[in-house]
Structure 1
Amino acid sequence: MRTSGPSSASPWRRPAAAVLAGALPVLAFPAPGLWWWAWVTLVPWLLLVRSAPDGRAAAREGWLGGFAFMLAMHHWLLPSLHVFTFVIAALLGALWAPWGVLVRRLLGASATPGRVAAGLVVVPSGWLAVELVRSWQGLGGPWGMLGASQWEVAPALRLASVGGVWLLSFLVVAVNTAVAVLVVHRRARVAALTGLLATGAATASAWVWSPGPGNGARASVAVVQPGIVAGPDSAERRFDRQERLTRDLAGRDVDLVVWGESSVGHDLADRPDLARRLAALSRETGADLLVNVDARRSDRPGIYKSSLLVGPGGPTGDRYDKMRLVPFGEYVPARSLLGWATSVGKAADEDRRRGTGQVVMETGDGLRIGPLVCFESAFPDMSRRLARDGAALLLAQSSTSTFQDTWAPAQHASLAALRAAETGRPMVHATLTGVSAVYDGRGERVGPWLGTGASTAEVYEVPLARGGTTPYVRFGAWPVGGALLTLAVWGAAEGAARVRRRAPAPPAPSARTAHGSPARPGR
């Protein structure tokens, strides 16, 4: 009996294609940075899932694509978490299984033009629901939201000021869906073209009518990036290098000096000598210092990561304790169940403690600053809260030294552009080992990036906003609410249609009754 080689391999073709299609969006993010690719990158995945033979296959291909997307976006975790990276990607990828069913139902070959037209809104709403769920800090947070790929596109940044990164994600998926419809649904092409025109009109309207932040006074902010310091006593030697770099800023009329995450490895109450050295630096430079302490606290149990403001007289008392910790990096979720991750990778041996609330600090010069620590710059709601609380300048202190030679530092630095555009507040992203970057209230870059090979102190003239708030700061993540409402309405309509189809048909009248003669009762 003769067997066909190609047919014997066919069971693996669709799963392999789903994995490949799901990984494609990573090219739109740094370091490749092909931002334009985001607007068509989902088309292969959409075309594959819509042609699935049944709902189970569509769910499987949605899950496999989601797994590949998560793995590609977080591939730099492999040296630290090893096989557990695949476990995390598989669990998160399952969020796209219902989305796959949704795509097949709305865009499949048997879908009516009306259903396909509805899919232009419902499919991106489903994607936004997935991003909402995975944005929960316990599931890894909103790293790699599709809209974040547009961080260096000026019209997109203006849209972010209206609806945050959520609006960008929705529009990117909507455009991908419309392109897929243009490819395969001849009868729904008018609806697809209408959707594309509507997206263009929304972008143009935001560009023209949404209020942009006006530039007022300027703040001179210095970012101190010491670079890689390895080996024994690295915390002490890093402090020494940062001290030397900061001392070089004397006489440059700096308003604020920012050190990166974990820039101080000892609690200052336990090491008053370090506190005195920091105060001396503040006096020499004429500026307050924002440092970050990663150490066991002397006044309460546990290890905290804390932003501390230090003035000429020492610590000012302004302190912010990091609230949202990196899963596995700073704590292990459900440690009793998942603690084995510490034996296969570099997961945290001890959980760090969380802060209880965000803080707006005021420097000696009257500048109101809102600190975030590392991972927290990925969360749009945290920078929004700081802006609402009166912060004039947002700051993220970060360290990605573990992932120095990967795409992670550039991806992380790009997030600050979105947070700045969303809030209309300039943002400083200061790291230990790069990439450090500064953005104005429009999300546009100010001065140079400090790459992963730099060990320096750079001064940035940062334009401050003249006041006012963006629509996103006022109204929050309204695109998410719209997406959930859309899904609810669509689900109710589908449920009602299914009930109507299952309702029994009324009995057909008899021939005599049909001619008007009364029916006789049986004997």
Structure 2
Amino acid sequence: MRLPTGDGAVAVRTPPSRRRRWGRGVAALAAGALPALAFPAPSLWWWAYGALVPWLLLLRTAPSGRRAALDGWLGGAGFVLAVHHWLVPSLHVFILALAALLALLWAPWGLLAWWALRRAEHSPGRSVAACAVVPSGWLMVEMVRSWEGLGGPWGLLGASQWEVAPALRVAALGGVWLVTLLVVAVNTAVALLVAVPSVRGPAVAALVVCAVTVGSVWAWLEAPAPVGRARIGVVQPGVVDGPGGPERRFAREEALTRTLAGRDVDLVVWGESSVGADLSARADLAARLAALSRHVDAELLVNVDARRSDLPGIYKSSVLVGPDGPTGDRYDKMRLVPFGEYVPLRSVLGWATSVGRAADEDRRRGAEQVVMTVAAGSGPGLAVGPLVCFESAFPDMSRHLARAGAEVLVAQSATSTFQESWAPEQHASLAALRAAETGRPVVHATLTGVSAVYGPDGARIGAPLGTDRSAAAVHDVPLATGTTPYVRFGDWPLWAAGAVLAGAALGAVRRRSAPRPPGPPARTARG
């Protein structure tokens, strides 16, 4: 709009409709970012049960489905940027493009939420349906973005409940996916409670159903019963900067490990990339590790980040070392961090290495998961399932190890690049979910923190080693047998959510194709 001024010039004023659209877009970005506060480091777990409400209310008031999809996309971008903000040192401006692309997954969810919440105004039955449809749509977004190539299952909404005992019991039933469904269902019911007075009864009923579900799972599904213990040492060298970093880190880990002598440990775990050279090519390092094993009277699980002497390329590998040297048990990391360990479509996106800390050379992938047998004491041995860093975010990998007989899951990690961010605490918290899902204890060992250990019920054991620590700690880790429903039945909440969405789509198609009742007969005009 152009308006004349007193001196004859023309002032340009933005139309009110355009200002409202821009304001709405900013509100969508901000609303999408709100759930980030439920994750570590703030770890306001209770915030998750209302964090989506502003976003849902905004979607409900969208003037059209197209605008709702746009608000879903903008909110998704806000969510990705807030939850993954610690990636900025590695990706720099590329994180904006990454957030914009990933956020496209939320555009259909925005449209779905708009449709379901608007229909909920017309009947109690439709409001109840909204409390199932909206969470199911959100879960489909989480499922798709959990693909390794899209960044993996980091920041799943259910993972924000890692320190809530009833939620961990729900995870044993249906994994982190079922926790997410319940959290989003509560948000949907609260949004209806706030915005649609005519369906407050059904909204309250939906909240009651969620509470009763959690209470019933807590009462019905017993926590894993301990059947023994293993003493596991965790070595965290801390930040080692400057020239000769790998060699100096190795010496520091060596010194810390020696302090565990006489403490009756069954296994000593080092973090990811704790050894910077292939042990087949560095007989001196292998000999030092073997001497350490003899000194502490326990085997060592180290992690080698180096170019292989027997295969082309660089691998990240969990390697078991005993008193006579490497035992032959080795696991090569299978799922790699996009940009951190390989660049997707390097011929197109290779420029990312010039603006951030993307990998200069792609790491190679392992072929299969491995369960190692550790010679612990005079017993039959301890079955250990290794995971390397990023892999502890994937529920299916820990579930596979539990099915294969692992008694303890060990995640070797390094988040040194993100030392002063929320990333180390977020990563450590994932181990609690994996423990609860599988009914197996999880040892999360890192180079620079946070190192932590969780029992088979997901409860933390002992004090974690924070990012300011350089230390070795020993934990009495309870072992458990039995199989959780999640290990037995797998990702059934994903199938259930898919069925809900298929049912909703089928119902919508039937309503559209149903013949409409005839209208009143037209009146004949009289002359």
Instruction: Indicate the SS of the match to 1:99.
Output: helix
CA distance in 2, matches of 1:6, 1:60: 19
Structure 2 residue aligned with 1:121 = 132
Structure 1 residue aligned with 2:84 = 74
Instruction: Indicate the SS of the match to 2:463.
Output: coil
Q: What is the aligned-residue identity percentage?
A: 66
CA distance in 1, matches of 2:269, 2:469: 16
* Aligned ranges 1:407-418 → 2 under 5 Å: 407-418=422-433
Residue 343 of structure 1: how far off its partner (Å): 1.5
CA distance in 2, matches of 1:455, 1:441: 26
Residue 45 of structure 1: how far off its partner (Å): 0.2
Structure 1 residue aligned with 2:436 = 421
Structure 2 residue aligned with 1:383 = 398
Structure 2 residue aligned with 1:517 = none
Structure 2 residue aligned with 1:286 = 297
The runs of 5 or more residues in structure 2 that have no matched partner are 5-12
What's the TM-score once normalised by structure 2's chain length?
0.94
Shift in CA distance, 504/108, structure 1 to aligned 2, threshold 3 Å: closer
Q: 1:459 aligns with which of 474, 499, 505?
A: 474
Query: In the alignment, residue 405 of structure 1 is paired with which amino acid?
Result: E
1:174-212 per-residue CA deviation (whole Å, 9 max, x = no partner) reads 000000000111222222111111111111111111131
Query: In the alignment, residue 100 of structure 2 is paired with which amino acid?
Result: A
1:78-136 per-residue CA deviation (whole Å, 9 max, x = no partner) reads 01110111111111111000000011111127842233321110000000000000000
Instruction: Indicate the SS of the match to 1:449.
Output: strand
Q: 2:57 aligns with which of 47, 54, 70?
A: 47
Instruction: Indicate the SS of the match to 2:229.
Output: strand
1:395 aligns with 2:410: yes
* Aligned ranges 1:80-91 → 2 under 5 Å: 80-91=90-101
1:434 aligns with 2:449: yes
1:358 aligns with 2:369: yes
Structure 2 residue aligned with 1:229 = 240
Residue 506 of structure 1: how far off its partner (Å): 11
* Aligned ranges 1:187-198 → 2 under 5 Å: 187-198=198-209
CA distance in 2, matches of 1:340, 1:41: 36
Structure 2 residue aligned with 1:35 = 45
Instruction: Indicate the SS of the match to 1:437.
Output: strand
1:491 aligns with 2:505: yes
Q: 2:182 aligns with which of 165, 171, 181?
A: 171
* Aligned ranges 1:125-164 → 2 under 5 Å: 125-164=136-175
1:270 aligns with 2:284: no
1:139-177 per-residue CA deviation (whole Å, 9 max, x = no partner) reads 000000000000000110011100000000000000000
Q: 1:14 aligns with which of 11, 20, 24?
A: 24
Structure 2 residue aligned with 1:367 = 382
Aligned 8 A contact 2:235 2:271 in 1:
yes
Instruction: Indicate the SS of the match to 1:406.
Output: coil
1:362-415 per-residue CA deviation (whole Å, 9 max, x = no partner) reads 011200000000000000000000000000000000000000000000000000
Query: In the alignment, residue 416 of structure 2 is paired with which amino acid?
Result: S
CA distance in 2, matches of 1:200, 1:265: 50
Residue 497 of structure 1: how far off its partner (Å): 1.3
CA distance in 2, matches of 1:421, 1:150: 11
1:446-481 per-residue CA deviation (whole Å, 9 max, x = no partner) reads 01110001001001111111x111111101111110
Aligned 8 A contact 1:105 1:111 in 2:
no
CA distance in 2, matches of 1:475, 1:459: 34
- Once the two structures are overlaid, the 10-residue window that deviates more, 411-420 or 343-352, is 343-352
Instruction: Indicate the SS of the match to 1:357.
Output: coil
Aligned 8 A contact 2:441 2:479 in 1:
yes
Residue 337 of structure 1: how far off its partner (Å): 1.6
Shift in CA distance, 124/8, structure 1 to aligned 2, threshold 3 Å: closer
Structure 1 residue aligned with 2:215 = 204
Q: 1:215 aligns with which of 210, 213, 226?
A: 226
Instruction: Indicate the SS of the match to 1:143.
Output: coil
Residue 256 of structure 1: how far off its partner (Å): 0.4
The runs of 5 or more residues in structure 1 that have no matched partner are 512-523
Query: In the alignment, residue 371 of structure 1 is paired with which amino acid?
Result: P
Structure 2 residue aligned with 1:473 = 487
Instruction: Indicate the SS of the match to 1:88.
Output: helix
CA distance in 2, matches of 1:348, 1:181: 46
Shift in CA distance, 390/110, structure 1 to aligned 2, threshold 3 Å: closer
Instruction: Indicate the SS of the match to 2:303.
Output: strand
1:199-258 per-residue CA deviation (whole Å, 9 max, x = no partner) reads 111111111111310012111100000000111110000000000110111111111000
What's the TM-score once normalised by structure 1's chain length?
0.95
Query: In the alignment, residue 477 of structure 1 is paired with which amino acid?
Result: D
Residue 500 of structure 1: how far off its partner (Å): 2.2
Aligned 8 A contact 1:92 1:134 in 2:
yes
Query: In the alignment, residue 439 of structure 1 is paired with which amino acid?
Result: Y
CA distance in 1, matches of 2:16, 2:238: 53
- Once the two structures are overlaid, the 10-residue window that deviates more, 339-348 or 401-410, is 339-348
CA distance in 1, matches of 2:473, 2:519: 80
CA distance in 2, matches of 1:440, 1:68: 34
Aligned 8 A contact 1:50 1:109 in 2:
no
Aligned 8 A contact 1:211 1:470 in 2:
no
- Once the two structures are overlaid, the 10-residue window that deviates more, 188-197 or 283-292, is 188-197
